[in-house]
Amino acid sequence: MSLDTYLSITPIQTVLQSKEEQVTRLFSHIEFDGKQLTHQPGSVFGSTALVAGTTVGAGVLALPAVTMSSGVVPSTALMIGAWVYALVAALLIAEATVNTMRLVGRTNINILAMVEHSLGPVGSGIAGGAYLFLQCALLIAYLAKGGDILGDAIAKIFGVQNILPGWVGITIFTLLFGGMMYLGRGKWIEKLNNTFMAIVIASFVGLLLIAGEQVKATQFLFQNWSTVGSAIPVIFVAFFFHSVVPVVVTQLEGDSRKIRQSLVLGSLIPLIMFLAWNAVILGSVSPEMIQQTLNEKTIFDPLQILRVGGAGEWLALLVSVFSEFAIVTSFIGLMYGLLDFLREIDLLKQIYSVSQLPLYSIILLPSMSFGVINPNIFFTALDYAGAFSVSVLEGIIPALMAWKQREQQQFIDSNHQSFVPGGKLTLMVIIGITLIVIVKQILLKCGL
């Protein structure tokens, strides 16, 4: 084993320098350029952008459609609660990642490998099934919606709105951004994602400034708490970024302080954006439109409200730019998570050692095909993904991993790190909330 390889994968034992100060970095990224060893630490800014970009995706476009019937105040309270829930789950995954890395001596470890190490093959099978279903559902939703927006833009540019086939947009989206992921190196993709995230934030601010003129303060008075529960699946999906948590831990060398900062800031930015977006859209919708949508049982398109608001082509352009790049940033984070997941499967591991192309094809082509066959699959995919897979992966699995690790290591491992306070009570609350959500969604799907 070469020196640079050894240094890059060997954990650095936690060292107590004093009662107040602790070195929390678990390992160091070392690269050898042929002449010297250089330290390549990840940045909090880059990891924060990855978390925020993964979170601000297709889910934000669907939020007003599912919160419209409950109103601004109830949906705001639900989103804040969902953010706390998602952040605690992310910190539990980070805790499990750091401690598993230290025990097994590997710097790259995905959720599936972590679950198997902590909960055994049964737990790994359940988590793997839920994770794969979730990621595939989200990927189908992203490709379908991203391709639809891109196809509309291409049709308008070339003046072929009624001629261009629907499959063109999704195909170009898949080849363009999938190709960027396939050909790009890690640092280049990080810089690209940071740029896309800057575009998302800039276009979002522009949207708020222009669309804010349509908001009527009286709309904020409408409240219907009885319907707020139906929005939970999509809100859970909107706050799902947990597939990139192991990536963040690896990028930041297992440094617990930096990991916490990235997860808190990276999820707080989307929360603020979601709350503002939801308030602007629902504040622009009249009670008559709400009632008409509910009576006709049609899908409410929040982007249509902005397009017909009379602000002209600039607003339409901002809507398209924000929507497309919000999806692209989530697509990048989702691809990272799926690649890490599939690389751990023995058969695919052998294929990946020869070429990455088959792995990318396995991920992208089936999802693209579903989007082509059913272009309106966006809302359905998000609803089912949030109702079951996100609930299991955000709530039950992280809590059980933390519970098992803490029980096993509290007497034999003084270096075990805990990222979430509250002990078993916190874990029981997370599991309890998750079970209530799952049961409620099953009853809703059954019409009970």
Whether residue 260 sits in one domain with residue 220: yes
Question: Tell me, what DSSP letter sits at residue 375?
Answer: T
Q: List the beta bridge partners of residue 223.
A: none
The string of pLDDT tens digits covering residues 324-368 is 888 888 888 788 777 777 776 666 666 655 667 777 888 888 888
- Higher pLDDT: 411 or 271? It is 271
The pLDDT value recorded for residue 10 is 42
Count of beta carbons in the 10 Å neighbourhood of residue 304? 10
Whether residue 104 sits in one domain with residue 5: no
- Backbone torsion region of residue 300, taken as left when φ is above 0, otherwise alpha when ψ lies between -120 and 50, otherwise beta: beta
Collapsing DSSP to helix, strand or coil, 171 comes out as helix
- Higher pLDDT: 125 or 27? It is 125
Is residue 15 predicted with pLDDT exceeding 80? no
Whether residue 423 sits in one domain with residue 385: yes
The pLDDT value recorded for residue 47 is 87
Whether residue 158 sits in one domain with residue 106: yes
Count of beta carbons in the 10 Å neighbourhood of residue 442? 12
The string of pLDDT tens digits covering residues 142-200 is 888 888 888 888 888 777 776 777 788 888 888 888 888 888 776 788 788 888 888 98
Give the whole-angstrom CA distance, residue 368 versus residue 364. 6
Whether residue 26 sits in one domain with residue 148: no
The pLDDT value recorded for residue 20 is 39
Is residue 18 predicted with pLDDT exceeding 50? no
Whether residue 58 sits in one domain with residue 141: yes
pLDDT band at 264; cut points 50, 70, 90: very high
The string of pLDDT tens digits covering residues 47-72 is 898 888 878 766 677 788 788 888 88
Whether residue 126 sits in one domain with residue 16: no
Is residue 431 predicted with pLDDT exceeding 70? yes
Q: Which of 64-68, 99-103, 166-170, 440-444 has the lowest mean pLDDT?
A: 440-444
Q: Tally the domains of the chain.
A: 2
Region 98-124: what's the mean pLDDT? Answer: 79
State the CATH number of the domain containing residue 390.
1.10.4160.10
Q: List the beta bridge partners of residue 37.
A: 32
The string of pLDDT tens digits covering residues 43-53 is 888 889 888 88
Quickly tell me which residue has 């924000």 as its tokens.
Answer: 322
Whether residue 120 sits in one domain with residue 14: no
Region 227-256: what's the mean pLDDT? Answer: 83
Whether residue 82 sits in one domain with residue 180: yes
Cβ neighbors of 122 (< 8 A, separation 6 or more) are none
Q: Which domain holds residue 320?
A: 43-445
Is residue 3 predicted with pLDDT exceeding 60? no
Sign of the dihedral defined by the CA atoms of residues 150, 189, 389, 263, in that order: negative
The pLDDT value recorded for residue 41 is 65
Give the whole-angstrom CA distance, residue 118 versus residue 112. 10
Give the whole-angstrom CA distance, residue 226 versus residue 229. 7
Angle at 122 between CA 415 and CA 139, to 5 degrees: 90
Q: Model pTM?
A: 0.76
The string of pLDDT tens digits covering residues 73-86 is 999 999 999 999 99
The pLDDT value recorded for residue 412 is 53
- Higher pLDDT: 421 or 296? It is 421
The pLDDT value recorded for residue 415 is 65
Region 118-145: what's the mean pLDDT? Answer: 82
The string of pLDDT tens digits covering residues 366-405 is 888 877 777 666 666 666 666 667 778 878 888 998 888 8
Sign of the dihedral defined by the CA atoms of residues 396, 129, 115, 364, in that order: negative
- Higher pLDDT: 427 or 361? It is 427
Share the mean pLDDT of the chain: 77
Whether residue 322 sits in one domain with residue 420: yes
Whether residue 99 sits in one domain with residue 49: yes
Whether residue 222 sits in one domain with residue 177: yes
The pLDDT value recorded for residue 19 is 38
Is residue 88 predicted with pLDDT exceeding 90? yes
Give the whole-angstrom CA distance, residue 96 versus residue 405. 7
- Backbone torsion region of residue 37, taken as left when φ is above 0, otherwise alpha when ψ lies between -120 and 50, otherwise beta: beta
Region 420-433: what's the mean pLDDT? Answer: 88
Is residue 5 predicted with pLDDT exceeding 50? no
Is residue 11 predicted with pLDDT exceeding 70? no
Region 243-248: what's the mean pLDDT? Answer: 85
The pLDDT value recorded for residue 92 is 92
The string of pLDDT tens digits covering residues 267-318 is 999 999 899 888 888 887 766 666 666 665 556 665 565 555 545 566 677 7
